[in-house]
């Protein structure tokens, strides 16, 4: 029989790019740097430079707190583009995560899904940054796993081992998990390597490139694909109505 959404008991989520519109948030927070450097780069080209620096730093400094890592990403971007900014500007970018907006469909979709699943976060941020974002999401999560807790950043396999352990503490084995995420690089490739089923929330459908994430080395498999979390919630609703 084909796999169904209702086969699973736990939805584990990437947050940024999946639930939170981090590309809009990052772009807004980079506006002072863009002005200081007099940049004429297209939005996606600047996001790609952000992605390159972010991924490199996450690999180089896996224990660095995400707000501090973002500040260092900002310093590197400023050097790359020849912008002169004081340290407060870099720190402000690092502290901008709680201001990044949720996708419009996210809160209602999460509230619906909460009726049927345990909801768990696996995010490449620190707890304080996620707490700011959580206020925009409209639900309480059953477990929150951050890079700060784990000591490494996705796509490191340790993050997915930690996630599976956290879900086990809730009383569910890995077969009950549907990992739900946008990033093929950060989430789908390592989730599949960890043996998890996945749902791709393809927020960038219709756009070229990979935006604020690195491209995957090769296209990973996935089990479901939706263009928004609201679409996934509606698909589940149709299943339970049959």
Q: The domain spanning residue 233 has which CATH number?
A: 3.40.50.1000
The HSE-up count of residue 11 (CA atoms within 13 Å, CB side) is: 28
| 79: pLDDT strictly greater than 90 | yes
Encode pLDDT of 7-57 as tens digits.
Answer: 999 999 999 999 999 999 999 999 999 999 999 999 999 999 999 999 999
The answer to whether 142 is a known catalytic residue is: no
Q: What local confidence, expressed as pLDDT, does residue 177 receive? A: 98
Does 135 lie in the same domain as 168? Answer: yes
Q: Does the pLDDT of residue 1 top 80, yes or no? A: no
Cα(first)–Cα(last) distance of the chain, in Å? 16
53, 80, 99: which is the final residue of a domain? Answer: 99
Read off the CATH number of the domain in which 40 is found.
1.10.150.750
Shared domain for 86 and 181, answered yes or no, is no
Domain that holds residue 222: 5-22+101-241
Q: What is the pTM of this model?
A: 0.95
Q: What percent of the residues of the chain are helix, what percent strand, and what percent coil, each to the nearest 5?
A: 50, 10, 35
Domain count, the chain: 2
Q: What pLDDT is attached to residue 242? A: 81
> Could you tell me if 56 and 140 lie in one domain?
no
- The pLDDT value recorded for residue 184 is 97
- Of 92-101, 157-166, 186-195, 212-221, the poorest mean pLDDT is in 212-221
High-pLDDT (> 70) share of the chain, %: 100
Identify the domain boundary among 80, 99, 118: 99
Across 76-103, average pLDDT: 97
DSSP three-state, residue 61: coil
Tell me: do 164 and 69 sit in the same domain. no
Same domain, 16 and 61: no
Structural domain ending residue among the three candidates 81, 99, 117: 99
Provide the percentage of residues in the chain whose pLDDT is more than 90. Answer: 97
Same domain, 88 and 180: no
CA distance 123 to 146: 5
pLDDT digits (tens, 9 = 90+) for 114-141: 999 999 999 999 999 999 999 999 999 9
Per-residue pLDDT tens digits for 139-176: 999 999 999 999 999 999 999 999 999 999 999 999 99
Q: Report the C-alpha gap between 3 and 234 in whole angstroms.
A: 16
Q: Does 231 lie in the same domain as 120?
A: yes
Q: Which of 7, 14, 21, 86 is catalytic?
A: 14
> Residue 127, Cβ neighbours under 10 Å: how many?
15
Residue 21 has a CB neighbour count (10 Å cut-off) of: 20
Is-contact 186 14, C-beta < 8 A?
A: yes
- What is the C-alpha separation between 87 and 74, in angstroms, rounded? 10
pLDDT score, position 2 = 84
Pick the range with the lowest mean pLDDT from 99-113, 187-201, 204-218, 224-238. Answer: 204-218
């Amino acid at each position: 029989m084909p796999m169904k959404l209702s086969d699973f008991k736990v939805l584990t989520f990437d947050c940024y790019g999946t639930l939170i519109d981090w590309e809009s948030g990052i772009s807004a927070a980079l506006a002072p740097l863009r002005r200081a450097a007099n940049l004429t780069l297209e939005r996606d080209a600047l996001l790609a430079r952000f992605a390159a620096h972010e991924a490199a730093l996450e690999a180089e400094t896996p224990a660095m707190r995400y707000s501090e890592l973002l500040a260092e990403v900002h310093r590197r971007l400023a050097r790359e583009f020849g912008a002169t900014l004081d340290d407060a500007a870099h720190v402000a970018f690092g502290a901008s995560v709680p201001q990044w907006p949720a996708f419009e469909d996210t809160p209602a979709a999460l509230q619906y899904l909460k009726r049927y699943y345990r909801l768990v976060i696996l995010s490449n941020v620190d707890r304080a940054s996620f707490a700011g974002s959580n206020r925009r999401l409209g639900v309480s999560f059953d477990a929150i796993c951050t890079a700060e807790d784990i000591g490494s950043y996705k796509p490191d396999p340790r993050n997915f081992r930690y996630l599976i352990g956290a879900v086990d503490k809730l009383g569910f084995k890995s077969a009950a998990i549907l990992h739900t995420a946008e990033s093929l690089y950060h989430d789908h490739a390592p989730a599949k390597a960890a043996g998890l089923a996945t749902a791709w929330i393809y927020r960038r459908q219709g756009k070229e490139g990979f935006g604020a994430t690195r491209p995957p080395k090769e296209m990973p498999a996935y089990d479901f694909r939706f263009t928004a979390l609201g679409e996934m919630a509606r698909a589940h609703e149709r299943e339970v109505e049959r």
